[in-house]
Amino acid sequence: MVASLPRTIRIGSRKSQLAMVQTHWVHEQLQKVFPQRTFEIHTMSTQGDKILDVALAKIGDKGLFTKELEVGMLSSDIDFAVHSLKDLPTNLPEGLMLGCITEREDPADALVLHKSHRDKQLATLPEGAVIGTSSLRRLAQLRHHFPHLAFKDVRGNLNTRLAKLDAGEYDALILAVAGLQRLGMGDRIHQSIPAEISLHAVGQGALGIECRSDDTEILNLLKALEHRPTAVRCYAERAFLRELEGGCQVPIGVNTTLDGETLTLKGLVASLDGQRVIQGEVSGAADDADQLGIDLAHQLKAQGAQEILDEIIATLNRE
Ligand code: DPM
């Protein structure tokens, strides 16, 4: 009998520069652990890559950056897909699962200033300074702390955004530290925004690899890249978001720490005007990550978080 050759493993990725850097990193790590296996990268455009003129929050569709890749996995055109975990919806299609979560980079948001404001901070930017962001989470929290600032939508990849900043269309941008660092643009960061001012998005700074739930061969390969401390934190964050039924485009922020086996999760829901902020914190065993996330969601709901979220969804639907 002739032994059959192991199959070539097809990795799916979006085409953006950041997505490609992330996917190449995953490929390299897997190739190191499994030198005898062959991997191939297949790129696809997602809806989120095609619609560039509409504010993200208004499109509102869950899975904006993931759907085409998921179809590819279900039809076996690709075997797994590499995502920024924060772009991956908390409920995955039947037949697919989160195969692993890789080690998180700094999950904070970064302030990137126009050169004319080089010596400023968020607090010292002039009245009416225009901050570019399409994140309702960033908008709501920064409005809360800095009512003197103005906000304007910005879309496009990192280079497009930075070019608009440099051209003077904005006084500053808020971007993820992790994305800038992965693209070698860490030198553009003027300030890493502390958690007291703005909590980061669920899953920010980590990669999530999605695959078919019944593909044990792939699941076994992906285990090599799992970073348990990151995974535990992100499972708690995702359970919190899922329980609040928040899509990725609502003002929900989190912060987690893992001290030994003790996991602490902070969470926040804010109104779009930044006037109302509901916050809470839970701590418990890392093995109960999902339950901790659910508990925190219930704690915030008891303080009125659901009303704020319902209002925001109604506002977005009206616009
Ligand atoms: C999601 C949001 C943004 C991205 C919303 C949020 C930012 C949108 C914007 C869910 N996805 O954070 O509240 O600022 O207009 C995205 C980035 C990364 C993954 C870029 C960024 C890189 C960092 C990472 C877009 N998705 O946030 O600056 O891997 O976590």
Residue nearest to atom 12 of ligand 1 (CA): 201
**CA 176 – ligand 1 centroid, Å:** 6
- Give the per-residue pLDDT at 289: 98
Please give the pLDDT value at position 48: 74
- The protein residue with its alpha carbon nearest to ligand 1, atom 5, reads 135
- Report the 10 Å Cβ neighbour count for 142: 24
Predicted pLDDT at 249:
72
In whole angstroms, what is the distance from residue 53 CA to residue 153 CA?
10
For ligand 1, pick from 86, 192, 237 the residue to mutate: most ligand atoms within 8 Å of CB.
86
Catalytic residue among 49, 79, 87, 187: 87
Nearest alpha carbon, ligand 1 atom 23: 179
Ligand 1 centroid to Cα of residue 179, in Å, is: 8
- Helical segments of 131-262, H only: 136-145, 158-166, 177-182, 216-222, 228-243
Regarding the beta carbon of 137 and ligand 1, being less than 6 Å apart is answered yes
Active site residue 87: yes
Q: What is the pLDDT of residue 247?
A: 61
Token pair for residue 35? 């030198």
| pTM across the whole model | 0.94
Q: What is the pLDDT of residue 64?
A: 76
Compute the distance between CA of residue 13 and CA of residue 22 in angstroms, rounded to an integer. 9
Ligand 1 lined by 135 (C-beta under 6 Å): yes
Q: In what order do the strands lie in the sheet with 109-113?
A: 150-152, 130-132, 172-176, 109-113, 191-192
Ligand 1 atom at minimal distance to the Cα of residue 177: 23
> Which atom of ligand 1 lies closest to the CA of 22?
29
CA–CA separation, 111 vs 214, rounded Å?
42
Secondary structure (H, E, C), 227-281: CHHHHHHHHHHHHHHHHCCCCCCCCEEEEEEEECCEEEEEEEEECCCCCCEEEEE
> pLDDT value at position 316?
80
Q: Which residues of the chain have pLDDT under 50?
A: 59
Q: Using CA atoms, how far apart are residues 212 and 10, in angstroms rounded to an integer?
A: 13
Contact 155, 56 (CB under 8 A): yes
pLDDT of residue 224: 97
Task: Provide the pLDDT for residue 138.
Answer: 97
